[in-house]
Chains A and B, each alone.
Chain A
Amino acid sequence: MSEERYVTIDNKTILIEEEGNLLELVRKANIELPTFCYHSELSVYGSCRLCMVEIEGLGLVPACSTPPAMGMKVRTNTEEIRKMRKIIVELLLANHNQDCPTCQKGSTCQLQALARRLGVSKVRFKKQNRELPLDDSSPSLVRDPNKCVLCGDCVRICSEVQSVGAIDFAYRGAHTVVIPSFGKELDKVECINCGQCARVCPTGALMPKSEIEEVWKAIYDPNKVVVGQVAPAVRVALGEMFGLEPGVTTTGQIAAALKAIGFDKIFDTSFSADLTVIEESNEFINRIQKNENIPQFTSCCPAWVKFVEQYYPEFVNHLSTCRSPQQMFGALAKEILANDLGIGPEDVVVVSIMPCTAKKFEAKRPEFNHNGMRDVDNVLTTQELGRMIEEAGINFRELEPESFHLPFGFKTGAGVIFGNSGGVSEAALRYITEKITGEKRDSYEFTTVRGDNGMREATLTVGSKDFSLAVVNGLGNARNLLERIKSGDVHYDFVEVMACPGGCVGGAGQPVYSNPSIRHKRTKGIYENDRMLELHKSQDNPYVTELYSSYLGDIGGEKAHHLLHTSYKTRKRISDEDMTFSSGDDQGFEVNVCFGTGCFLKGSQKLLRDILEYIRSNGLHSSVKVGASFCFETCDRGPVVKIGDKIIEHCTLDKAREAIEGMATSTLKEVQRNA
């Protein structure tokens, strides 16, 4: 047996167990060291220097990047440390935009909290006035570099947890900023809108984009019927903003608050989640029977969907074609609800309350509109709803619970557990097992798919068949899994992916949290909520059954397809990054050869040379613009060449020549016609 190891922290003896750094150990001693850049879920960065402690014989060291050693004598509160911490905060404040009263980060700002906690009453340094432009291009997030403290939390969560890397440090010294590549706007780069950067940002430098004003406007408009839908994860987290414990279910209070604010109808996204379960499970059973596009990937998470569209075009067909519960609800509301209420869909304003920033992006996707009107008009995050409740002066904790409206306010537990990672899989299993065997089951819990791991797997025998499932959260884990599926190392039938750690309960629209234990309490709250409900399987939801018989018709049928399904496209990670080799005139057309890695390895270089040669020798260089693009994101079918609007996969010189000739003839005809 190894000897016990310990350190002394402010004269207390603390046992070293699993702690990898001194900061964790100091926390174990119940001392809260200030820090901006330390997150247990990210790599240690050591940039903010706020967690400096004094170690006998070593002097001042940052606790976060110092491994504990036997017998260390640590002091956390010496005169020198106290003075130094204050100076650090003062220096940060000196080049920080100080519009604190109007900053949306408000009371959750850690810089403000720290300044107060450390008793910083005056900033002795000269204010640096460098006004950098605000980036509000993204539908989900607003980036204000003037509030950035360069802790790098956002950079690390984006690359380490999500494996996206949409933002990074650039420039140097006093000019250092955290920005997307080439200083582009956030919506022009590969950002997937998950908002985890905003969740870990200690200040207001990255914030979910607010739609509060638009919603108030709709509420005050007497001609509009404002319809709310509340996502499952919201009900176990909103209470935190009003001093309730994380995980306490406040479904009834949310309904009451929305009514008090002025929403006309309040429904539950868990209802449309029940619908998703039925559509998605049947899609899965079909695919299994046809052995087509297996594994089936869930498509409820819009950040994950964009991730696949950008990085894994070969898997786009594997995504379930089901719309997410938010969008299913939107389509139903605009089509059925408007009809039932006897008003035009233009007078129905659908407002979602979501734990998520990517849902704002999803609602604006061009696929989701009804004769030019968006299916979901506005998306509020849990935080935004909390702020509206505060603004309206509603005493949330004292609200008498009220119920949601029918029919779309009635849900089963299956629709509620969507809020947890593993929930969609479990809900689908509750349906699939009964559908395949044709027998009713008494139990409904599938605990094998539950848990906190970022990557879990399970095998289940249903009838005579074994199904293998993977449940993933965090897109870095998803990327690993996709690579393993691609290489043939693993096989799954069904894969659930949620971009945020823990699933939607850990979404970036939720009240800000940094300690994972808060998320765990929300997860628990969701499962308790499921247990409290009368029904647990989507197929038992009488209103869903009624909806199919009265309106939708068959599961997966024509009507259902029109309202409840969608399609995906591959998309370029970064816009406007093409090179031109030969420029034609205005009336010409474009030929673009892909030079992404996949296409390059498949010979796009030679192809480009040949195409240029062909164009020159045929005297076409004045009418054809030839360029190279970096990735059409269809790498498996390279080399890819885009001629006019046509994308030619597995392109050869002959194929390109044929298409160019075709284009040239039609362009010529057009020119003659116009002349």
Chain B
Amino acid sequence: METLRKFEKVCEIVDQNDRSAARLIPILQAVQSEYRYLPEEILTYIATSLGISPASVFGVATFYSLFTMKPKGKYIIRICDGTACHVKGSMNLYEALRNKLTLKEGADSTPDMLFTLETVNCLGACGLAPAMVINDEVFGQLTPERVDSIIDDILDKEEKNEFDTHGA
């Protein structure tokens, strides 16, 4: 029923945007925030309902780096690797996070899809270097130890949530 609910949401998004091809980007943004990525079959559906070809929707979805067609985790960690952060050792943080999350070679997401780890070129928070964002929250002046505890906090919170859901 979860898939159906989400799909109905897509129908709603497309309708709210008047089924207009000019509104493709806002539609994709809204769909991505619903699914955390852009599933192929949903893009085909969007193309059909906007009367444009799936190839051009695919073109837009692959052009902008904020769109993703790969499923992403619930928490998206973006480590800044802009000049300032890089100089301040952002790559050490990246490695620390990979170890912490035990990410396998070539994988960016944890198998339970809780975390996805990415690097970005600049978050515009150079004064806080090295910095990262987790979803919409910015963390600055990081050290590998601090990163470790931030992840632990999230894990604790998730465990508690899980317990609450099951307990209810």
Report which A residues bind B (CB closer than 8 A): 159, 164-172, 179-183, 189-190, 573-574, 577-581, 595-597, 600, 605, 608-609, 612, 628, 630-631
- Please choose the segment from B40-48, B91-99, B127-135, B136-144 that sits at the chain A interface, where 4 or more of its residues have CB less than 8 A away: B40-48
Contacting pair B40 A189 (CB below 8 A): no
- Known contacts A182-B54, A597-B48, A631-B48; is-contact A612 B62 (Cβ 8 Å): no
B30 within 8 Å of A by Cβ? no
Report the separation of the CA atoms of residues A581 and B6 in the bound assembly, to the nearest whole angstrom: 11
Q: Is the interface of B mostly helix, strand, loop or mixed?
A: helix
Q: Once the chains are docked, how many angstroms separate the CA of A259 from the CA of B57?
A: 50
A181 touches B3 (CB 8 A): no
Across the A-B interface, give the 6 residue pairs with the lowest CB-CB distance, nearest first: A165-B53, A181-B54, A168-B55, A181-B55, A168-B59, A170-B62
Q: Is B4 an interface residue (CB 8 A)?
A: yes
Q: Are A630 and B48 in contact (CB under 8 A)?
A: yes
Assembly CA distance A442 to B162 (angstroms): 89
Contact B58 A595 (CB under 8 A): no
Residues in A with CB closer than 8 Å to B69 are 182
Complex alpha-carbon distance, A168 and B58, angstroms: 8
Would A165 and B40 be within 8 Å (CB), given that A172-B62, A595-B45, A612-B4 are in contact? no
Q: Which of A164, A167, A180, A577 gathers most chain B CB within 10 Å?
A: A577
The residue in chain A whose Cβ has the minimal distance to the Cβ of B52 is: A165
B121 to chain A, nearest CB (A): 13
Residues of A within 8 A of B55 (CB): 165-168, 170, 179-181, 189
Measured between alpha carbons, how far is A591 from B51 in the docked complex, in Å? 26
15 residue pairs from A and B, CB less than 8 Å apart: A165-B52, A166-B53, A168-B56, A170-B59, A171-B63, A181-B55, A182-B43, A190-B54, A573-B54, A577-B44, A578-B41, A597-B49, A608-B4, A630-B44, A630-B48
Check A168 against B53 for contact (C-beta < 8 Å).
Answer: yes
- Contact A581/B3 with A172-B63, A630-B48 known, Cβ cut-off 8 Å: yes
Q: Is the CB of A609 within 8 A of B56?
A: no
Give A653 Cβ to nearest chain B Cβ, in Å.
Answer: 15
- Judging by beta carbons under 8 Å apart, are B56 and A165 in contact? yes
**A-side contacts of B19, CB under 8 Å:** 597
Greatest chain A CB density within 10 A among B3, B11, B48 is at: B48
Alpha-carbon separation in the docked complex, A165 to B65 (Å) = 23
Within 8 Å of chain A (Cβ to Cβ): is B22?
A: no
A181-B55, A181-B57 are known; give 18 further A-B pairs, CB within 8 A. Answer: A165-B53, A171-B62, A172-B62, A181-B47, A181-B53, A181-B54, A182-B58, A190-B53, A190-B54, A574-B44, A579-B3, A579-B41, A579-B42, A581-B1, A581-B7, A605-B8, A608-B4, A630-B41
Residues from chain A with Cβ under 8 Å of B52 in the complex: 165
Chain A residue with minimal CB distance to B51? A597
Is the CB–CB distance between B49 and A577 below 8 Å? no
Q: Which residues of A contact B7 (CB under 8 A)?
A: 579, 581, 595, 628
Give every chain A residue within 8 A of B43 (Cβ-Cβ).
181-182
B63 near A182 (CB under 8 angstroms)? no
CB distance B3 to A600 under 8 Å? no
Q: Interface of B with A (CB < 8 Å)?
A: 1, 3-4, 7-8, 11, 19, 39-45, 47-49, 51-59, 62-63, 65, 69
- Asked, given contacts A577-B40, A612-B1, A630-B44, whether A600 binds B57 with beta carbons under 8 Å apart, the answer is no
Determine how close the nearest CB of chain B comes to the CB of A496; give it in whole angstroms. Answer: 26
Closest to B14 in A: A600
| Chain A residues whose C-beta falls within 8 Å of the C-beta of B53 in the assembled complex | 159, 164-166, 168, 181, 190
Give A190 to B69 CA distance when docked, in angstroms: 21
- Chain A residues near B42 (CB, 8 Å)? 579
Q: How far is the CB of B17 from chain A (nearest CB, A)?
A: 14
The CA-CA distance from A89 to B69 in the complex, in Å, is 34
Instruction: Check if B45 sits within 8 Å of A630, measured CB to CB.
Output: yes
A169 to B53, CA, bound (A): 12
**Which of chain A's residues have a CB closer than 8 A to the CB of B59?**
168-170
Among A166, A172, A181, the most chain B Cβ lie within 10 Å of the Cβ of A181
Contacts of B65 in A (CB 8 A): 172
- A164-B52 Cα distance, complex, nearest whole Å: 9
Task: Give CA–CA (A577, B58) in the complex, Å.
Answer: 14
- Identity of the chain B residue whose Cβ is nearest the Cβ of A597 in the assembled complex: B49
Min distance, Cβ A363 to any Cβ of chain B, angstroms = 26
Which of B8, B39, B58, B69 gathers the greatest number of chain A CB atoms within 10 Å? B58
Contact A182 B48 (CB under 8 A): no
Which residues of B lie under 8 Å from residue A182 when comparing CB positions?
40, 43, 54, 58, 69
B52 to chain A, nearest CB (A): 7
Which B residues are CB-close (under 8 A) to A608?
4
Residue of A whose beta carbon sits closest to that of B65? A172
Most buried by B among A597, A628, A630: A630
* Minimum CB–CB distance for A190 against chain B, Å: 7
A609 touches B58 (CB 8 A): no
Q: In the bound complex, do residue B58 and residue A181 qualify as a contact, i.e. CB atoms below 8 Å apart?
A: yes
In the complex, what residues of A have CB within 8 A of residue B56's CB? 159, 165, 168
Compute how far the CA of A595 lies from the CA of B58 in the bound complex, rounded to whole angstroms: 19
Check if B44 sits within 8 Å of A605, measured CB to CB. no
A170 to B62 Cα, complex, angstroms: 6
- Option from B3, B8, B39, B54 in Cβ contact (under 8 Å) with A574: B54
Distance (Å) between the CB of B77 and the closest chain A CB? 23
Chain B residue at smallest Cβ distance from A175: B62
Could you say which of A190, A574, A581, A631 contacts B4, with CB atoms under 8 Å apart?
A: A581
Cα distance A180–B1 in the bound complex, in angstroms: 32
Q: Which residue of B lies closest to A159 (CB)?
A: B53
Most chain B CB within a 10 A radius of its CB, from A183, A573, A579: A579
In the complex, chain A residues whose CB is within 8 Å of the CB of B4: 581, 608-609, 612
Closest B residue to A595 by beta carbon equals: B45
Task: Report B54 CB to chain A, min CB distance, Å.
Answer: 4
* Cα(A489)–Cα(B48), bound, Å: 24
A560 to B3, CA, bound (A): 52
Residue from B1, B51, B54 whose CB has the most chain A CB atoms within 10 Å: B54
Closest chain A CB from B46 CB (angstroms): 10
B3: chain A residues within 8 A (beta carbon) = 579-581
The answer to whether A181 touches B48, judged by C-beta atoms less than 8 angstroms apart, is no
A596 contacts B63, C-beta separation under 8 Å: no
CA distance A189 to B59 in the complex (A): 15
Q: With the chains together, A578 CA to B54 CA distance in Å?
A: 14
Chain A: which residue is nearest B58 at the CB level? A181
With contact pairs A169-B59, A182-B43, A595-B45 given, residues A605 and B54 touching in the complex (Cβ less than 8 Å)? no
Contacts of A179 in B (CB 8 A): 55
Question: In whole angstroms, how far apart are the Cα atoms of A172 and B60 in the complex?
Answer: 10
CA distance A577 to B40 in the complex (A): 7
Chain B residues contacting A600 (CB-CB under 8 Å) are 11, 49
Query: Which B-chain residue is minimally distant from A163 (CB atoms)?
Result: B53
